[in-house]
């Protein structure tokens, strides 16, 4: 028994020495719990505030202007734009530029005197959490209305998901989450696997160029990613009645761009890792912040400003906006170009770095 314990301790000491030499593994031991603590403690917040909004004040009275100012002073919304009509509010909501529209109609004063809801809230209800936060504005008091006569100030008009079903919000984002994990992981081991199997030297001696090798590694997984996206969307439509309000062509163009971006990130990881195990570690480290900060699980509007800046660097953040815009709001890609260019830039930078790093390895 003592001899067995001695052998076990000898193997344990050997394992500890290996961990000390593997700086990446040691960094993951410390880094993952630290990252999760910072994200959940600092960035994740369900108290939604400062939702981007626009105002269409058709009454143009002192009281209507004061009501819009009081709504912004509540800190639930931030008025980022003023427009002339309800149609313009709906156009901004469709493009994803705002999440809430305040419509103050021309007969605002008469509605106040009659005790009816004097204004209307147009809300992007594709996120039920956001809808719940904005509901608090309904009882915002109208300046000058006597307290005993106070009723709901705003009538609510929830758009795109009026039933507030969570599946309508989750399924589109789930496409991006699945693709991020699988596509990045598939290509993260691509170059490492060739090296471990002894095939890398053979590839070096062939006339295949670096960019040709990279594109050849990506090509099969593009088809796999499209199949995965189609499967999730089909099941979401059949089981959870998730609508497709936009163009199917726009939808698949967005999916194709996102797949290419995540595959290029996987290739970059593959050129940096020394083993498949390290590829898995870096992939997880890349995946965790995205799923938490992209707006897939937690409302983007509730995050602090620094967390939003970081989230804008991740491709999943922009893809979640793209796919929800096309699927749920019926937006065209031309309306969502603010989230297309970051994906294009991410693809160009990561693929370029992967090619450069692989050339250095050949040297």
For residues 233 and 113, state if they share a domain.
no
pTM: 0.83
Residue 17 forms part of a structural domain? no
Of 141, 159, 177, the residue at which a domain comes to its end is 159
The pLDDT assigned to 188 comes to 82
What's phi and psi for 102, nearest 5 deg?
Answer: -105, 115
Q: What is the pLDDT of residues 68-92, one digit of tens each?
A: 898 888 888 889 999 989 899 999 9
Q: What is the pLDDT of residues 311-336, one digit of tens each?
A: 899 999 999 999 999 999 999 998 99
For residues 120 and 60, state if they share a domain.
yes
Cα of 306 vs its chain's centroid, Å: 15
For residues 327 and 354, state if they share a domain.
yes
For residues 252 and 344, state if they share a domain.
yes
Q: What is the pLDDT of residues 107-125, one digit of tens each?
A: 888 888 877 888 899 998 8
How many Cβ atoms sit within 10 Å of the Cβ of residue 206?
Answer: 9
For residues 72 and 180, state if they share a domain.
no
For residues 155 and 192, state if they share a domain.
no
Domain span at 322? 166-362
The conformation of residue 293, written as its DSSP 8-state character, comes to H
**Which uninterrupted H or E stretch holds 79?**
strand 77-83
For residues 92 and 229, state if they share a domain.
no
For residues 226 and 336, state if they share a domain.
yes
The conformation of residue 258, written as its DSSP 8-state character, comes to H
Dump the DSSP string for 294-363. Answer: SSSSS-GGGS-HHHHHHHTTSHHHHHHHHHHHHHTT---GGGGHHHHHHHHHHHHHHHHHHHHHHHHHH-
Of 138, 159, 180, the residue at which a domain comes to its end is 159
For residues 267 and 329, state if they share a domain.
yes
For residues 155 and 178, state if they share a domain.
no
């Amino acid at each position: 028994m003592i001899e067995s314990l001695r052998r076990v301790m000898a193997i344990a000491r050997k394992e500890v020495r290996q961990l000390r030499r593997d700086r990446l593994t040691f960094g993951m031991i410390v880094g993952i719990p630290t990252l999760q603590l910072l994200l959940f403690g600092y960035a994740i917040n369900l108290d939604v505030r400062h939702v981007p909004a626009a105002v269409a004040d058709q009454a143009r009275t002192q009281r209507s202007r004061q009501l819009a100012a009081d709504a912004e002073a509540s800190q639930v919304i931030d008025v980022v734009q003023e427009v002339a009509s309800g149609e313009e509010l709906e156009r901004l909501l469709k493009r994803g530029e705002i999440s809430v529209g305040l419509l103050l109609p021309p007969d605002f004063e008469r509605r106040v005197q009659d005790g009816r809801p004097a204004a209307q809230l147009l809300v992007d209800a594709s996120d039920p959490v956001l809808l719940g936060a904005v509901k608090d504005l309904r009882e915002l008091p109208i300046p000058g209305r006597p307290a005993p006569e106070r009723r709901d100030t705003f009538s609510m008009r929830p758009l795109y998901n009026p039933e507030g079903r969570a599946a309508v919000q989750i399924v589109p984002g789930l496409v991006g989450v699945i693709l991020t994990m699988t596509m990045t992981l598939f290509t993260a081991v691509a170059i490492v696997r060739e090296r471990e199997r002894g095939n890398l030297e053979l590839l070096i001696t062939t006339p295949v160029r670096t960019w040709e090798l990279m594109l050849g590694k990506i090509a099969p997984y593009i088809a796999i990613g499209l199949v995965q996206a189609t499967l999730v969307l089909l099941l979401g439509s059949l089981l959870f009645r998730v609508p497709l309000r936009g163009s199917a062509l726009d939808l698949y163009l967005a999916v194709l761009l996102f797949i290419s971006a995540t595959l290029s990130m996987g290739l970059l990881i593959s050129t940096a890792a020394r083993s498949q195990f390290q590829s898995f570690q870096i992939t997880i480290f890349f995946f965790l912040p995205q799923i938490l900060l992209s707006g897939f699980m937690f409302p983007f509007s509730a995050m602090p400003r620094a967390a939003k800046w970081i989230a804008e660097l991740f491709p999943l953040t922009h893809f979640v906006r793209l796919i929800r815009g096309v699927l749920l709001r019926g937006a065209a890609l031309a309306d969502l170009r603010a989230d297309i260019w970051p994906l294009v830039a991410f693809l160009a930078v990561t693929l370029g770095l992967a090619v450069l790093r692989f050339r250095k390895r050949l040297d």
